[in-house]
């Protein structure tokens, strides 16, 4: 039997017909080759339709994944996406429907938006929060609904740093004054994101210790709310990423300068979270693998950091990029961040997730089958189609996915 690079036995599809006029599935082709299971067919032109005649098709996208004591029913993850719809950090009806509908749609894991560990850690006044115990009941209601649909749910813990105190994006792009409901912004160094954001206050050592304590307390509240996955947000130019990159971290103390000093905050946050987060529950970290700017944070340092995170109890690296500076030139395109997940996975043995411009079932399947990542994080595609997992199963010819009983009558044979 053919075997994936990680030892997973794959099924070859024994019956297939390439047909340029009719068929069940569109197949995206990269470099003139179609990757489907271990099958690699040289096709020539860039797009073909494929018809498969095998009722019992195994789709790797729909294989379960056990991480510690938590089992995800498939490899599809709803990526954290800010909704800017909370009041004083409280989850409301919008969050229940937004996250709940993706559970009804069949995702294996659903992550909340960036959830602030402190009021000053919010991107906007409308951000979701978990900085006080009063936030727990509304979050618990969402957790219970999502899990009742057979999906797992996690919370992304975040601090915005110098990108905090801004309005919801549809209301402009600037730092809010205190009169407008804003607050003082902090960062590793007094270096603004750009001229419209204002200059942050450099964190003191006491301030850094408070940030670590805030992440730890937020993880404890997450456990009380019933979450079984925590993701620490270390990407997209927010506070943790600001400490990692020499472009934003100009400190001269033990939190700045060398690689060891710049990664210190994240390592201390992970260690603090692990003291309160159950041993059987997974811990993810989202990282921007590169700043896409010369002299900034890059892939080699990120791989080195991933090894340190693994030794401290991190289970999954959620591989993204960019967000630190507005002048980065990012080569956005289909699967443009997949190589980061592949390289971290290969170098460290950690599970990795990939995100960014993944829009089809065939594209996601090929990433997994070729051993480039273990999880597929979907953001905008899940906004366009909350039922993407159900539709992806149909696209791949996978018959074993379970629709909600309320929707069974709409399932096509």
Q: Do 65 and 86 fall within a single domain?
A: yes
Among 238, 281, 387, 398, the one annotated catalytic: 238
Q: What's the confidence (pLDDT) of residue 174?
A: 84
411 versus 42: the higher-pLDDT residue is 411
Within this chain, do residues 47 and 92 fall inside the same structural domain, yes or no? no
Question: How many domains does the chain divide into?
Answer: 2
| Number of CB atoms found within 10 A of residue 41's CB | 16
Are 11 and 124 part of one and the same domain? no
Q: For tokens 């075997």, name the residue.
A: 3
Q: For the segment 262-278, what is each residue's pLDDT rounded down to a tens digit?
A: 999 999 999 999 999 99
User: Within a domain: residue 412?
Assistant: no
Lowest-pLDDT range of 21-35, 142-156, 213-227: 21-35
Residue 20 and residue 135 in one domain:
no
The answer to whether 243 and 249 have CB atoms below 8 angstroms apart is yes
DSSP-derived secondary structure for 138-201: HHHHHHHHHHHTT-EEEEEEE--GGG-S---GGG-SSPPPGGGT----EESSS--SSTTT-PPE
Domain shared by 152 and 263, yes or no: yes
- Domain residue limits at 361: 59-393
Contact (Cβ atoms closer than 8 angstroms) between residue 24 and residue 54: no
Query: In terms of domains, do 93 and 194 share one?
Result: yes
* Assigned domain for 271 exists: yes
Report pLDDT digits (tens) over 199-232: 999 999 999 999 999 999 999 999 999 999 999 9
Q: What is the pTM of this model?
A: 0.88
Overall average pLDDT of the 375-384 stretch: 98
70 shares a domain with 40: no
Q: Do residues 69 and 45 share a domain?
A: no
Flag whether 409 is in a domain.
Answer: no
The CATH number of whichever domain residue 271 belongs to comes to 3.20.20.70
| C-alpha span between 304 and 251 (Å, rounded) | 21
Considering the domain architecture, whether residues 328 and 187 belong to the same structural domain is answered as yes
| Percent of the chain at pLDDT exceeding 90 | 82
Do 349 and 259 belong together in one domain? yes
Is residue 403 assigned to a domain? no
Q: Is 238 a catalytic residue?
A: yes
Token pair for residue 47? 């797009």
- Clarify whether residues 152 and 249 are in a common domain: yes
* 86 within a domain of the structure (yes/no): yes
Residue 128 reports pLDDT greater than 60: yes
207 occurs within a structural domain: yes
Residues 6 and 109 in one domain: no
């Amino acid at each position: 039997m053919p075997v994936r690079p990680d030892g997973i036995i794959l099924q070859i599809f024994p019956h297939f017909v390439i047909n340029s006029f009719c068929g069940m599935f569109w197949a995206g082709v990269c470099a003139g080759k179609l990757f489907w299971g271990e099958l690699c067919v040289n096709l020539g032109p860039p797009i073909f339709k494929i018809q498969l005649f095998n009722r019992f098709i195994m789709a790797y996208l729909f294989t379960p994944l056990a991480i510690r004591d938590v089992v995800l029913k498939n490899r599809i993850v709803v990526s954290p996406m800010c909704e800017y719809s909370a009041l004083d950090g409280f989850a409301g009806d919008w969050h229940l429907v937004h996250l709940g509908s993706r559970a009804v749609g069949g995702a294996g894991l659903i992550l909340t938006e960036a959830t602030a560990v402190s009021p000053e850690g919010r991107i906007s006044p409308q951000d979701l929060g978990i900085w006080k115990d009063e936030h727990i009941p509304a979050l618990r209601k969402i957790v219970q609904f999502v899990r009742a649909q057979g999906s797992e749910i996690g919370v992304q813990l975040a601090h915005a740093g110098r990108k905090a105190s801004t309005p919801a994006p549809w209301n402009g792009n600037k730092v809010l004054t205190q009169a407008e409901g804003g607050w003082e912004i902090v960062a590793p160094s007094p270096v603004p994101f750009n001229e419209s954001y204002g200059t942050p206050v450099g964190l003191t050592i006491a301030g850094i210790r408070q940030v670590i304590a805030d992440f730890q307390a937020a993880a404890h509240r997450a456990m009380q709310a019933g979450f079984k996955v925590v993701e620490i947000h270390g990407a997209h130019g927010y506070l943790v990423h600001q400490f990692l990159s020499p472009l934003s971290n100009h400190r001269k103390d033990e939190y700045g300068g060398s690689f060891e000093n710049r990664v210190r905050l994240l390592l201390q946050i992970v260690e603090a979270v692990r003291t309160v987060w159950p041993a059987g529950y997974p811990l993810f970290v989202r990282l921007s693998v590169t700043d896409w700017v010369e002299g900034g944070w890059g892939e080699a340092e990120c791989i080195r950091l991933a090894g340190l995170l693994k030794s401290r109890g991190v289970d999954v690296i959620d591989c993204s990029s960019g967000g630190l500076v507005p002048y980065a030139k990012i080569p956005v395109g289909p699967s443009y961040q997949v190589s980061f997940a592949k390289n971290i996975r290969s170098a460290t043995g950690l599970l990795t997730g990939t995100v960014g411009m993944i829009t089809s079932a065939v594209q996601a399947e090929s990433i997994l089958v070729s051993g480039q990542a273990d999880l597929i994080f979907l953001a905008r595609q899940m906004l366009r189609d909350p039922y993407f997992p159900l539709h992806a199963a149909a696209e791949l010819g996978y018959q074993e996915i379970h629709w909600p009983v309320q929707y069974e009558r709409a399932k096509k044979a």
